[in-house]
Structure 1
Amino acid sequence: MTGRRAALAAALATPLLLPALRRATAQGAASGFPSRPIRVLVPFAPGGQSDTVIRLLAPKMGEVLGQGLVIENRPGGGGSIAGGVVAGAPADGRTLLFDSFGFLIIPFLVKGLSYDHDTAFAPVGQAVSAPYVLVVKKALPPRTLTEFIDYAKANPGVTYGSPGTGTVGHLAGALLASRAGIQLEHVPYRGGAEAARDLAAGSVDCAISTANSLRPLIEDGRGVGIALTSGERRGTLANLPTIAESGFPGFDLTSWNAMFAPAATPAPVIEKLEAAMRAAVQDEATRQRLILAGNDPSAEGAAAFAARIRREKEVVARIVRETGIKAD
């Protein structure tokens, strides 16, 4: 009977002990974190927006964390390949995803994901926001958005490159085509740098990507800046008009770059990562480099960024319904 009473007492005590055990486990995980370099997956090719931003943040983040960040480019699948690796990684904060606004679009366009996109990730925080810009190749006649739309109406099937399926560039092109009544043909790349390269070579008619990728073409005359996708003029290309002010009020698609960890990563670990990223964004030297690359540093924490994701996901769902956008 004594053994039975002991077993019963242990069973009754277990539900009371579990929260304390979880807290102790989380605190233990955070106290020794990070004990080795942190792997950060970027779902785009080297040289593009997301890759550039995390490489600017990495030195200061590594200094704060006491461990280096190892950047790994895993392009493809609209970001779902890199996302799948992180979603399946141990929830210990040592494998992270550094993504863009396209993160919100993946579940609408990429079918048969190997993970539940809505529950697989824990937001760490947003680092920057960045408008996209529509740039046409030098040989194309348009110099304003009105001229571009007139040209597209007279030449159905104008091609536009973007950093990939499901990115802001992809979505912005589809939304502009829908609202302007024109036919544009999407050409997805593995990153903004590759789209910029082909635009400079004249392989695509235009591209919609970040200032980081396309501003050099505007500055050296290999491309012509037409309009920004953001609701207001901002960033290093604030001299260009917005699509909204060029005849499409309410048009506002602004990208961001942010960090995600696997779901169930202990809160103390998330807090350490969030603090390191905030320190990097607020570091004056890093901040200036981010601005020169066409970004608006934001340092939005995990809770505020999670709320942003919920709001913007509804916007994406509405645009997907309006445009009928599909994966290429």
Structure 2
Amino acid sequence: MTARRRALLAAGPASLLAAAGPAAAQAGGERWPGRPVRIVAPYAPGGQSDTVIRLLQPRMAEFLGQPIVIENRTGAGGTIGAGIVAQAPPDGHTLLFESIAFLIAPLIVRGLAFDHETAFVPVGQAVAAPYVLAVRRDFPGRDLAGFVAAAKAAPGSVTYGTPGVGSPGHLAGALLESRAGIRLEHVPYRGGAEAARDLAAGNIAAVLITANSIKPVIDDGRALGIALTSAERRGSLAHLPTIAESGYPGYDMTSWNGLFAPAGTPEPVIGRLSAALRHATGDPAVRERLALTGNDAVTDTPAEFAARIRREREVVKRIVRESGIRVE
């Protein structure tokens, strides 16, 4: 037995899968992946999820030895795209690239034909990212205190756009309403890029979207960033204060993006997908490009991602209950 083989055996199954090449994982007795892999991004092109997965796509395809096709299927807070993947054969050829909305939607969207907790298996987290509260350039409030004051002066008249009903931005807005004692008007879009364009045009007062979607509009002076939703300053707009440090201690709504497969996908395939994702998020050039879009790259295992989901599901349930967010 060679030294390399002894080392791989000692490292365990995941290392063997990663070293063996695309033929290592078997699904239904066939070599996997046996054809191009489809990843459903349930939000609009140009938004957070779409941007991140397209940055990861080349390195993942390189690792798997098959093309990866990104398909945008928008609507209903990500549940339309999720439903497509939930009904797909569990063979690893159709996957879901979601955000923390994966935890939010089942709590507020009624009549779903699938159960998020049982219909998917986590593959791995890709990035972590805060949402950004930004206002149009002529908005009277220039910081969070001014924003809250404007909302209190005219309850229900301050509009804010998000990537959709049940999105992290929607939950962040509802949480801010609850903590600050204000009433805002939620305007859902199919993606953060659309909300950013409407803010730049002056059609809405504010947005709660990712740095990736809003930073270009802030940089060219068509909008003003005033606060981050994360517990600490992070990402490409880390010069902005957090909502927590601006008068609402304990406020934290940090989003993420991660990869999911339909429940029942063979474990060797999940292991291979996880290795492909880590290959991409661990690449220095990819990490640098992700950072420029306001994302912190993450390299974890399926078990670590699953543990995070279990912890955050309970937190999200509490926030939804306390904030009273509902789908109308």
* Partner Cα distance (2:288, 2:266) in 1: 32
Deviations 1:9-38 (A, max 9, x none): xxxxxxxxxxxxxxxxx8454871101100
Q: Distance in 1 between matches of 2:102 and 2:181?
A: 27
Residue 302 (structure 1) shift: 0.6
Partner residue in 2 for 1:11: none
Partners of 1:89 and 1:36 in 2: how far apart?
15
What is the one-letter code of the residue matched to 1:190? R
Q: Could you list the runs of 5+ residues in structure 1 that have no partner in the other structure? A: 1-25
Task: Give 1:201 deviation, angstroms.
Answer: 0.6
1:9-158 equivalent positions in 2, closer than 5 A: 27=26, 29=28, 32-157=31-156, 158=158
- TM-score (normalizing by structure 1): 0.91
1:210 CA drift (Å): 0.4
Correspondence for 1:19: none
Specify the code of the residue in structure 2 equivalent to 1:262: P
Q: Hey, what's the Cα distance between the residues in 2 that align with 1:28 and 1:242? A: 46
Contact 1:29–1:269 (CA under 8 A) maintained in structure 2: no
- What residue in structure 2 maps to residue 165 of structure 1? 165
2:219 maps to 1:219: yes
Structure with more helix by fraction:
1
List per-residue Cα deviations over 1:192-247 (Å, max 9, x = no partner). 10010101011110000000000111111100111000000001111000000001
1:267/1:217 CA distance change after superposition, 3 Å: same
Partner-residue secondary structure (3-state), 2:102: helix
2:198 maps to 198
Would the alpha carbon gap of residues 164 and 28 (structure 1) be closer, same or farther in structure 2, given more than 3 Å must change?
Answer: closer
Distance in 1, Cα, partners of 2:321 & 2:206: 25
Q: TM-score, normalised by structure 2?
A: 0.91
Kept after mapping to 2: 8 A contact 1:30/1:269: no
CA distance in 2, matches of 1:170, 1:228: 14
Q: Is the 8 A contact 2:102 2:116 kept in 1?
A: no
- 2-structure distance, mates of 1:83, 1:38: 16
In the alignment, which residue of structure 2 is the partner of 1:17?
A: none
Letter in 1 for 2:252: D
Query: Where does residue 21 of structure 1 map in the other structure?
Result: none
Runs of 4+ in 1 over 4 A off after TM superposition: 26-31
Distance change >3 Å, CA 264–CA 217, structure 1 → 2: same
Any idea what SS the aligned residue of 2:294 has? coil
Conserved 8 A contact 2:27-2:269: no
Listed as ranges, the gaps of 5+ residues in structure 2 are 1-24
SS in 1 for 2:32: coil
Q: Is the 8 A contact 2:91 2:266 kept in 1?
A: yes
User: Which SS does the other structure have where 1:32 is aligned?
Assistant: strand
Shift of 1:75: 0.4
Q: Which amino acid aligns with 1:293?
A: T
Structure label with greater radius of gyration: 1
Counterpart of 1:301 in structure 2 is 301
- Report the residue type matching 2:275 in the other structure: A
Matched, 1:254 2:254: yes
> 1:186 Cα shift?
0.6
- Distance in 2 between residues matched to 1:231 and 1:172, nearest whole Å: 12
Q: CA deviation at 1:117?
A: 1.8
Deviation string 1:88-123 (CA, Å, 9 cap, x unpaired) is 110000000001010100111111111122100000
Identity of aligned residues (%): 65
Alignment of 1:246-285 (within 5 A): 246-285=246-285
Task: Give the corresponding residue for 2:19.
Answer: none
**Cα deviation code 1:140-168 (max 9, x no counterpart):** 01111111111110121210000111111
Alignment partners' CA distance in 2, 1:27 and 1:34: 8
What is the identity, as a one-letter code, of the residue corresponding to 2:140?
P
Deviation at 1:327, TM superposition (A): 1.3
Aligned residue identity for 2:274: E
